[in-house]
Structure 1
Amino acid sequence: MTTTTGTPAADRDTCTESLHERLSRLDTAALSDAMDSLRTPPCVLPGIRSRTAGSVACGPAFTVRYRAIDDTTTFHNAANYIDDVPAGSVIVVDNGGSRTCTNWGSLLSAVALHRHIAGTVVHGSVRDVKESRTAGYPLFSTDVTMVSGKNRVALDRTGVEVDISGTPVAPGDWIFADDNGALRIPADLVEEVVRRAEAVERTEGRIREAALGGSRLDEARARFGYARPWEDEKGGDDHGSD
């Protein structure tokens, strides 16, 4: 994998943009297959579901961690961090998968869209789903409820590693979420994962075309390398990762 150490900031931005464009043409299924081929640690963010059907969240993780509070004598805002989130990021909120109160609503979706944030994944609950869906904001969560997080939770920290039901997400890891669910791609593997996922899609496209053109499916799978779909003549070899 090519390192960006010593690379000018403008060149790094261009590389990131190109990577984002390539990722946006993929889906979680191809990316998951690519990560399987690398024998990576768990990548799925368990229990996360799309709240805006058909939307895709794709970008580097901006992590947010909450903690429960029991002080009801003073007002506790749910959090003000949205203005610090870089454009193109996917916000990953960890509230321990709580179903008792929300960590995201329509106001945050509106501001996130205005700031060109790529989407939000909440290990916990969200509300105002209709408004976020109507606006087309990519929103994913464990659950939905109408109960506010105000005076129930407080911001613990941002920019720290969070744990999403056993899957760690570090700041800068890449997040990809679609109607299948959500996964994380370690920052140091993202370029190789994208390359392999592109190969997976090419392989499956050839199999589909052959099968719909009259070939037996088992023959098409054998012909085009269904057992190792991340390998093809355009994508190169597998660098011995297996």
Structure 2
Amino acid sequence: MTDLVDRLRALDTCAVSDALDRHGIRGVVGGLRPWAAPGTIAGRAVTVLLGPPSDDVTASRHLGTAAVDASGPGDVIVVAHQGRTDCAGWGGLLSRAAAARGIEGIVVHGAARDLVEAAEAGLPVHAVTPTPVTARSRAVERGWGEPVQLDDVAVRPGDLVLADGGGVVVVPAAQAEEVLATAERIAGTEAAMARAIAAGAPVSDVMGQSYEELTSRDH
């Protein structure tokens, strides 16, 4: 798995997205962007499921803390916050703890807060938007280390997660080898095209039929 993470880190989200298209996998999480420390996030998913408070859920500890305590280098915390922007699904003390444990970064499908603290700790955080509004009394943890949904993208513990300036993608662990191999071929092909353009080739020739077929499932 470490080898797969290293290979993932060497790619960008656009190449991986193209590979996911070619394999017919929904793996692009829309609407997220980097808000804290710069840098690529690459690693294995450790999932956290949030939801509104209810009589059947008692917040005996703050959301995300168990996942942080169980994670470390090579792990990415993925918070399923249902895209909520009315309160944070992640905060500053969690960011400091995650950074101290060497966690690669955080992906929040919703708002996050204390992003200055995350930046000071050197922890990359991708989220929908910043907010100062606390989760306390507004959201609770309903589980962690279990499959979650980020809109139409399923994320299971151990899936590969890549986040950079281009967005966030999730690669199912069961198909990681084939998707990464395809992404590497696509990246290599596009690098050769970039060299041809730099050498003076007309872009209309470089980006011809073969470029259009890069994501085709028939090629």
Does the TM-score normalized on the shorter chain lie above 0.5? yes
Contact persistence 1:78–1:153 (CA under 8 A): no
How many residue pairs align between the two structures? 215
Summarize deviations over 1:205-239 as a string: whole Å, max 9, x none: 1111111211111223349x323447xxxxxxx9x
Summarize deviations over 1:61-92 as a string: whole Å, max 9, x none: 11111121167xx9864323121224311111
Q: Percent identity?
A: 33
Instruction: State the secondary structure of the residue aligned to 1:112.
Output: helix
Contact persistence 1:102–1:146 (CA under 8 A): yes
Per the TM alignment, residue 148 of structure 1 is displaced from its structure 2 partner at its CA by: 1.1
Structure-to-structure mapping, 1:138-153, within 5 angstroms: 138-153=124-139
Per the TM alignment, residue 177 of structure 1 is displaced from its structure 2 partner at its CA by: 0.8
Q: Per the alignment, do residues 211 and 92 of structure 1 end up closer, same or farther by CA in structure 2, a change over 3 Å counting?
A: same
Structure-to-structure mapping, 1:1-242, within 5 angstroms: 16-40=1-25, 42-52=26-36, 54-69=38-53, 77-79=61-63, 80-81=65-66, 82-222=68-208, 225-229=210-214
* Distance of 1:77 and 1:150 partners within structure 2: 11
* Distance of 2:208 and 2:131 partners within structure 1: 48
Answer with 1 or 2: which has the greater Rg: 1
TM-score in terms of structure 2 length: 0.88
Contact persistence 2:5–2:160 (CA under 8 A): no
* Distance of 2:85 and 2:208 partners within structure 1: 46
Q: Of Structure 1 and Structure 2, which has the larger fraction of its residues in strand? A: 2
* Distance of 1:192 and 1:52 partners within structure 2: 32
Matched letter for residue 125 of structure 2 = L
Per the TM alignment, residue 164 of structure 1 is displaced from its structure 2 partner at its CA by: 0.7
Contact persistence 1:55–1:136 (CA under 8 A): no
Matched letter for residue 32 of structure 2 = I
Matched letter for residue 140 of structure 1 = H
Instruction: State the secondary structure of the residue aligned to 2:119.
Output: helix
After TM superposition, the structure 1 stretch with the greater mean CA deviation from structure 2, 199-208 or 47-56, is 47-56
* Distance of 2:131 and 2:74 partners within structure 1: 27
After TM superposition, the structure 1 stretch with the greater mean CA deviation from structure 2, 213-222 or 100-109, is 213-222
TM-score in terms of structure 1 length: 0.81
Q: Could you tell me which runs of 5 or more consecutive residues in structure 2 were left unpaired when the two chains were aligned.
A: none
